[in-house]
Structure 1
Amino acid sequence: MPGKPVTDQQVRVYMTDRLHYSQRVAAARAGFSERTARRIEADPRLPSQRKPARGRTVPDPLAAVWDAVLLPILKRDPAVQAVTLMRHLQLTDPEAFPDDRVRRTLERRVRDWRALHGPECDVIFRQTPEPGRMALSDFTDAGTLGVTIGGQLLAHRLYHFVLAYSSWEHVAVVLGGESFTALAENLQNALWTLGGVPHEHRTDSLSAAYRNLDAAAADDVTKRYEAFCAHYGMLASRNNPGEAHENGSVEAHNNHLKVALNQALILRGSRDFATLADWRRFVDELVARRNRRRDAALRIEMAALRPLPARRTTDFTEVVARVTKTGGFLVHSVFYSAPSQLIGQRLRVHVYDDRIEAFLGATHVVTHPRRRGRDDGVRVHCVNYRHVIHALRRKPQALAGSVYRDGLFPRPEYAEAWAAFSAALPRRDACRRMVGLLCLAHDEGCEAELALLIADSLGRGELPEARRLKERLEPPQRALPVDTPVALTELTSFDALLEGCA
């Protein structure tokens, strides 16, 4: 048909039919004219073999500069971009290249040159996971979830543990950075929750754990991590720096996890939680639902896991600190209070991701939630008012100028009471009333109940006073019954028990 080229398939059909039919019939069966049949018989090559090479319809705009100017630059460094070469031509020969008219031509020319003569590209080898063979750990930033605790934005990460075969996962909320402490503590929690140990544990390069460490400290962390894996009988491996796809089994799950958490928060209708424990419980419940879909694969993998060791190993960093006369000690530039009896003593402090625990010898003496230092150099304090309340009884005026005064208030209601006292009373009376409230909370063990009474007093425009609030805290007196009959068991009834034993 006019305007419709003959295909190779039509020619093959024609040549087969020509063995049994006339030229006209074979051409009709193949779908072209008799004249075309005569042309095919004169040249039996297929149409694809007779296509003339397509030549240029316009002159090559890069003919004068490609071999002489651009090709040497590409050979020297194939990473150079086409737009960089375009700007180079415009600088060296502005009359020949006044604008970006040939930019697309240059981009195609550079693309084709790289495909034929450029450096070899890396190849990703997809792996077939084996049951019980590998587990992977990673940290992922959870700031995009917008979770708040009591209205305050929570800056945190998620530790993510994944088995490569069954995709069983364990997730933990991490308040600090990607440290060895956070990895060791949460990895142990994952293994003991799982109930078995894989043959190999893969992480990224853990550069975040070594970022602020000198060479000796980084080497110490490396040895501790290797000792940790040796305790569990796991082979410790890392992917190469910058090659995230080598940790792909957990990298992909990171995104799936955050999408699932975001959707669950949308269904919840709020991203605010009363306490950090509530947010952690929310994460644990979602992960448990996701793991239920993997029960069949997990049963296969559990059969290939190694048993757990007899005990856990060290999952903290130990620091030795001396308790000073200010009633506390420093750990990573953060001040923590301690009972005054410990002043002058050296404590062994176990630093976890979310808490610190101090020991005098083998005796546990104090626990605090862990705090992080500030970048502006201002000292951060973590103070328990119970550690210093006895001293404040004797010196209540020290409260006003104390550097950690704001840290002494156990709840926001106490801080609001101090603000009200400072605004309405002289400094001496304000300190006396505030110390009285703290002493009442300590002596009666009624910190939470007293906070409600303080809020009620402030709400009614009154200044809370310890003596009056104590009267409202005292439970009503109850008279004990005096005429309660008591039945005594006869001793002879025990003989029957002795006979039964005989």
Structure 2
Amino acid sequence: HGRTVADPLEGFWENDLLPLLEKDSALQAVTLLRHLQSEQPLAFPDDRIRRTLERRVRQWRALNGPERDIIFRQAPEPGYMAQSDFTHAEELGVTIAGQPFPHLLYHFAMAYSRWEHVGVVLGGESFTALAENLQQALWSLGGVPQNHRTDSLSAAFRNLTADQREDVTKRYNAFVGHYGMDASRNNRGEAHENGAVESQNRHLKTAIKQALILRGSRDFACIEDYRRFIDMLVARRNRQRADAVQAERVHLKPLPQRRTTDFTEIVVPVTRTGGFLVKSIFYSAPSQLIGQRLRVHLYDDRIEAFLGSTLVVSHPRARGRGDGHRVHVINYHHVIHALRRKPQALWSSIYRDSLFPRTEYAEAWKMLQRDLPRRDACRRMVDLLFIAHEQACEAELAHVLAADIDAGHVPDPKALASRLAPRIMALPRDIAVAHPPLDSFDVLLEARA
């Protein structure tokens, strides 16, 4: 169509704006407009020509701009490529026991069949989270693809020294070498190069949201229940791809005879304080291990400590707090005997609040602190923990404590122990056992014949 009004940029486009664009084509239309307004305030007092300028810049780029990148769509080959990615899951609104649950989802997908595996990751993107979940995905798939593609793994290298980054790179190369896979990475900032799993991230989270709506609640009693929910959802999605998966498995390489290392290993000493430090987190250990050096395997959701080849300590893995205060993970079974000899140490212990195994014990301690002198409060609380340890009745004692606290009764360990003691049953001393004659079995054999 021909122009029906005068060109508002006549005289300014060729003389003022075009030289700037030719010098650097990244300039935006709004930047050029602000330039005009500063140079010619009377001619351009407002933003009235903004849309005209944007169309002019867009047309110039289409005719004279630099070459642009092109996405080349690929025809996937069966058994050739698998892709891994981490995606944030806060938008799902999942809670555990009523508490917010910030977490990531590890997503593994086969490019050809779209078979997928999903893992719940408690920490951030790390080699441990990648290796542990990738290994689980391969063994669930039942075979090994030719190539495994990830993003640039920059998040896994964050806050690492050059030596640590080199170590992670070597460990990752050793991991994929164990399975006979080629490792490839998409270019930084080019998420479309990992497109098979990137697109499935959106579909996966949409499916999870819909399943949560059908479930009627986004709250789960524990992390294991949430993981089971995710596993069942992914299994249903994979059943819809059964034919493609079956065709792809023919082209997969066989799994090796054994799994490989999918954890980070460090060696730590057990100190006189009854535990050891792992990444600035204090974990308790049995007092017999004081002075020993343990090999600790760090997984995404747990730690396992070995003395030689014997597993001696296992804890859920904790993460540091943002306020700088040290986090303590304490198993009261490890310290209860020493604490019973020194009950007054409970009052000012730096990990006292981490010592209580259930909220009912913490509520009992608050009541004892409030209603009893310090000495008696410490003694009673330690006795309660000892009863739970000695009689293996942690849950039962918690229920009884909750009832007493609701009734306003100060917990009394002796009374509670008597209520929890098993009832003594008198067994008869003489039991007459009648032995049937052996020839009576002949009748059964004859009837069988």
TM category (shorter chain) comes to over 0.9
The alpha-carbon deviation at position 479 of structure 1 amounts to 2.0
Question: Where does residue 53 of structure 2 map in the other structure?
Answer: 106
Q: Deviations over 1:409-468 (max 9, x none)?
A: 001100000001011111111101100000000100111111111111111111121111
The residue aligned with 2:442 is: none
Residue in 2 that maps onto 1:167: 114
Residue number in structure 2 paired with 1:46: none
TM-score, with structure 2 as normaliser: 0.95
Q: Indicate which of 163, 181, 192 corresponds to 2:128.
A: 181
* Offset of residue 341 of structure 1: 1.2
Q: Answer with 405-414 or 100-109: which moved more.
A: 100-109
Give the letter for the 1:302 counterpart. Answer: R
1:147 aligns with 2:103: no
The answer on 1:347 being equivalent to 2:280 is no
CA distance in 2, matches of 1:181, 1:472: 47
Distance in 1, Cα, partners of 2:363 & 2:326: 23
Letter in 2 for 1:143: E
Task: Work out which of the residue numbers 223, 238, 253 in structure 1 matches 2:170.
Answer: 223
Matched, 1:210 2:143: no
Tell me the equivalent position of 1:408: 355
Match of 1:434 among 358, 381, 392: 381
Q: Which residue in the other structure is 2:278 paired with?
A: 331
Matched, 1:194 2:145: no
Separation in 2 of the partners of 1:142 and 1:352?
A: 20
Could you say which residue in structure 1 is the equivalent of 2:447? none
2:220 is the alignment partner of 1:288: no
Question: Partners in 1 of 2:15 and 2:304 — Cα distance?
Answer: 71
- Mapped to 1, the partners of 2:36 and 2:284 lie a distance apart of 68
C-alpha distance after superposition, 1:198-250 (max 9, x if no partner): 11111111111001111111111111111100000111111110001011110
Of the structure 1 ranges 102-111 and 243-252, higher mean CA displacement relative to structure 2 is found in 102-111
- Compute the displacement of 1:322 (Å): 1.0
Please tell me whether residue 455 in structure 1 is matched to residue 406 in structure 2.
Answer: no
In the alignment, the residues of structure 2 paired with residue 55 and residue 307 of structure 1 have an alpha-carbon distance, to the nearest angstrom, of 68
Question: Which residue in 1 is equivalent to 2:446?
Answer: none
- Is structure 2 residue 107 aligned with structure 1 residue 136? no
1:78 aligns with 2:25: yes
Q: Does residue 119 in structure 1 map to residue 66 in structure 2?
A: yes
Letter in 2 for 1:236: A
Instruction: Give me the whole-angstrom Cα distance separating, in 2, the residues matched to 1:235 and 1:489.
Output: 72
Q: 1:92 aligns with which of 22, 28, 39?
A: 39
Q: Return the alpha-carbon distance in structure 1 between the equivalents of residues 236 and 3 of structure 2.
A: 63
Q: Name the structure 1 match of 2:339.
A: 392
Give me the whole-angstrom Cα distance separating, in 1, the residues matched to 2:50 and 2:419.
84
The one-letter code sitting in structure 2 at the alignment partner of 1:441 is A
After superposing the two structures, state which structure 1 stretch, 456-465 or 115-124, moved more. 456-465
Equivalent residue number for residue 180 of structure 2? 233
2:419 to 468, 472, 477: 472
Distance 1:231 1:488, change over 3 A: farther
CA RMSD of aligned residues (A): 1.6
Secondary structure of 1:358 counterpart: strand
Q: Distance in 1 between matches of 2:46 and 2:89?
A: 46
1:28 aligns with: none
Whole-angstrom distance in 1 between the partners of 2:58 and 2:10? 17
Number of the residue aligned with 1:312: 259
Tell me, which stretches of 5 or more residues in structure 2 are unaligned?
439-449
- What is the letter of the counterpart of residue 370 of structure 2? A
**1:55: how far off?**
5.0
Q: For 2:169 and 2:69, how far apart are their aligned partners in 1?
A: 29
Bigger radius of gyration among the two? 1
- TM-score of the aligned structures, taking structure 1 as reference length: 0.85
- Separation (CA, whole Å) in 1 of partners of 2:86 and 2:183: 17
Q: 1:360 aligns with which of 307, 314, 317?
A: 307
Aligned equivalents of 1:247 and 1:486: distance in 2? 75
**What SS does the aligned partner of 1:136 have?**
strand
Q: How many residues align?
A: 439
Instruction: Provide the C-alpha distance between the structure 2 equivalents of 1:154 and 1:138, rounded to a whole number of angstroms.
Output: 20
Q: For residues 77-108 of structure 1, give each alpha carbon's deviation from its aligned partner in whole angstroms, at most 9, with x where no partner exists.
A: 11111111011011011122222232222212
Unmatched runs of 5 consecutive residues or more in structure 1 = 1-53, 492-502
SS in structure 1 at match of 2:322? coil
Q: Measure how far apart 1:486 and its partner are.
A: 4.0
1:297 aligns with 2:226: no
Q: How does 1:45-64 map to 2 (within 5 A)?
A: 55-64=2-11
Question: Deviations 1:332-369 (Å, cap 9, x if unpaired)?
Answer: 01000011111111111110000001111222110010
Question: For residues 413 and 218 of structure 1, what CA distance do their matches in structure 2 show?
Answer: 45
